[in-house]
Structure 1
């Protein structure tokens, strides 16, 4: 199956990053979100990323302009009427995503593959919102998308082999590394990562060490590029909580119970970098 035109739904940090790497690989890209302010902000983020590459001598200005020319903006799902692939990167909420997939099923051609960048939600359930479950698949990029090489490719219960092969080939064309994962809560990355972050928050709550000490132990002792509490702020504490709740509900084990301190911070609106305060403060 040949892919030429791709719609990316969600112009936030993940969606704009996905749109960027698709355009860099030469695909025509439609970047979609609820309003023009969000899509313009997303394209400006892409432009800023590319300008950094130009300033470092890794890209020519002409190359940057050619990439940006492949990205058009949209505020209507109906604009997916002629695309070969949709990559959904909307908010991590099963009801929101299911509604998007139901609507996409109505407006896209029969051959169109519907992929989700979900970090924890079941692909099989998203597929059930459509009449084409064999063409629904998970495509979980890592953040920041232009830098990180891994893409978890998640088969739903009905995902066709041809669809998997197509997405695997696309991932390689984007100069990413595809890893096949089965459809379980949290997949591989977040099933391992989020309980570690959650345990770090328990360690802080119980007064075992300060936040700085916890991060230093994992950074210097385990050679992690950043500590788990810094990473949680980077991901967003609301996202961390939602994924832990998904793991707890989906797997039914107490070891996935979200830390009460995590819940408290989210209720306080301390969500990390995006709100200026999480476990650390950001100016």
Structure 2
């Protein structure tokens, strides 16, 4: 991390002094960087002139005292509070009182790090992401004593280095590690409830929603020795706030050394670094076209989409006020299970299959029969959404379908509503602005949209409906809606809307 920060600073024309407590390590890292840049130059990514300029701005020093004239010091050492505190105390005896001291910590309190300093007002967080040259965002964190001018300087410096600086309060996880809690923890909750297996969940969230990696594939890549302690840390730092509750499974896997890709086994198995997909039995039974389909939906727009799909694919529609006894009943619902929906719509649960209307079901369809749905109707629903459809280029494609067990809310609904709700709660706490939350998450986590933007795209009222029904159904306070989401959904306004100041 330190070398990556040094690299982007040097590329911006800034003179950088490199120090490592391990003698000779800084020099070895610099030589490694020179080799990397040479390879990139051969690929046309850099000119030899730019490489020479970058390397000329980097100078290794062997004694910490040699950095006395530095205007900014960025530490990127081990995540240990006492060691960082001692380093910052040592730095104060070397640099001028005007020099800024920045920590690249990802999990420790900036205020706590600064607490042993004589001038805590010049200490700030400057949290980059790995690999630094490619992840073009940096969290700029203000401790309780940090001067605003220090934050302004670091924001401007980030821009000069080609990065976006986003400001955050000194809270557990800052922006990215805080906002990222919902993705994995809710997926684990769904897995623990035996609603779907880990591969089905990954499939729904990648093919159906658009995440680059599913939560379980991502945890395998990161390693549970890294991700599980972060889950526990943020949960405990927030005094067991239910929204951040970890799952016992990852602790058990950590204890069993099933860490992920690095050891060859986590949720998936890996051979020579490549993921090995588990065996999944094919649906050998023939699909059966329905006699007709009766459609019910919580939102008229969703009903219209399904009916248009049925018409385009020449599937008969039951237009009666109450479904015929031989009709497949499709219910497009939010935040509840198929049984409750069947009762609410006053239809025979044996005919019902629920469909997640959050997804573009012409790309990926998530279906949920009730516990008593006749097999015949489940097969009919599978037939309806496994048909070849036409995309924008008039090329025939086959929709993928995932069938899950009954759950209060579908996989995508639960995960997305938790991501959006958590970001709204962060905005309500003024941890960061909605815009900074979105930018940090899109760049830092690679989500298709920022969570606030995503909430607006899906509709705040939809997200609120999902959470309110989940809360009633489960009684779990993890699903309580954020006041930020609640008020904006009720007023029908954007989630970016901030409170007026008077």
Q: How far does residue 268 in structure 1 lie from its aligned partner after superposition?
A: 5.0
**Quick one: structure 1 residues 202 and 64, their matched pair in 2 at CA, closer, same or farther if it must change by over 3 Å?**
farther
Corresponding residue for 2:160?
173
Q: Distance in 2 between matches of 1:274 and 1:106?
A: 41
Q: How far does residue 74 in structure 1 lie from its aligned partner after superposition?
A: 4.3
Matched ranges for 1:40-79 at <5 A = 40-74=27-61, 76-79=63-66
Q: Distance in 1 between matches of 2:21 and 2:263?
A: 21
Q: Of 82, 88, 101, which aligns to 2:88?
A: 101
Q: Which ranges of 4 or more aligned residues in structure 1 deviate by more than 6 Å?
A: none
- Where 1:261 maps in the other structure, the secondary structure is helix
- Point out where structure 2 has 5 or more consecutive residues left out of the alignment: 274-502
Alignment of 1:222 with 2:205, yes or no, is: no
Alignment of 1:259 with 2:262, yes or no, is: no
Q: How far does residue 72 in structure 1 lie from its aligned partner after superposition?
A: 2.6
Matched ranges for 1:211-250 at <5 A = 211-250=198-237
* Cα deviation code 1:104-129 (max 9, x no counterpart): 22322212111111223211111112
Q: Distance in 2 between matches of 1:133 and 1:81?
A: 18
Corresponding residue for 2:473?
none
Corresponding residue for 1:182?
169
Corresponding residue for 2:14?
27
Structure 1 residues 194-203 or 180-189, which shifts more? 194-203
Q: Distance in 1 between matches of 2:99 and 2:13?
A: 19
Q: How far does residue 75 in structure 1 lie from its aligned partner after superposition?
A: 5.4
**Quick one: structure 1 residues 222 and 19, their matched pair in 2 at CA, closer, same or farther if it must change by over 3 Å?**
farther
Q: Distance in 2 between matches of 1:212 and 1:37?
A: 45
- Where 1:26 maps in the other structure, the secondary structure is coil
Q: How far does residue 192 in structure 1 lie from its aligned partner after superposition?
A: 1.3
Q: Distance in 1 between matches of 2:95 and 2:256?
A: 40
- Point out where structure 1 has 5 or more consecutive residues left out of the alignment: 1-13
Matched ranges for 1:188-199 at <5 A = 188-199=175-186
**Quick one: structure 1 residues 51 and 259, their matched pair in 2 at CA, closer, same or farther if it must change by over 3 Å?**
farther
Structure 1 residues 41-50 or 267-276, which shifts more? 267-276
Corresponding residue for 1:82?
69
Q: Distance in 1 between matches of 2:68 and 2:43?
A: 38
* Cα deviation code 1:118-151 (max 9, x no counterpart): 2232111111121111101111112221112221
Q: Distance in 2 between matches of 1:84 and 1:276?
A: 45
Greater CA radius of gyration, 1 or 2?
2
Equivalenced residues, count: 270
- Where 1:107 maps in the other structure, the secondary structure is coil
Q: Distance in 2 between matches of 1:102 and 1:277?
A: 43
Q: How far does residue 45 in structure 1 lie from its aligned partner after superposition?
A: 4.6
Q: How far does residue 34 in structure 1 lie from its aligned partner after superposition?
A: 3.1
The answer (yes or no) to whether the contact 1:119–1:186 under 8 Å persists in 2 is yes
**Quick one: structure 1 residues 250 and 81, their matched pair in 2 at CA, closer, same or farther if it must change by over 3 Å?**
same
Q: Distance in 1 between matches of 2:27 and 2:185?
A: 35
- Where 1:86 maps in the other structure, the secondary structure is strand
**Quick one: structure 1 residues 206 and 108, their matched pair in 2 at CA, closer, same or farther if it must change by over 3 Å?**
farther
What RMSD in Å do the two structures reach over aligned CA positions?
2.7
Q: How far does residue 230 in structure 1 lie from its aligned partner after superposition?
A: 3.5
Structure 1 residues 175-184 or 239-248, which shifts more? 239-248
If asked which structure has higher relative contact order (CA below 8 Å, sep 6+), I would say 1
* Cα deviation code 1:210-231 (max 9, x no counterpart): 5444333322222222233333
- Where 1:63 maps in the other structure, the secondary structure is helix
Q: How far does residue 82 in structure 1 lie from its aligned partner after superposition?
A: 2.2
- Where 2:135 maps in the other structure, the secondary structure is coil
The answer (yes or no) to whether the contact 1:36–1:74 under 8 Å persists in 2 is no
Q: How far does residue 196 in structure 1 lie from its aligned partner after superposition?
A: 1.9
Corresponding residue for 1:5?
none
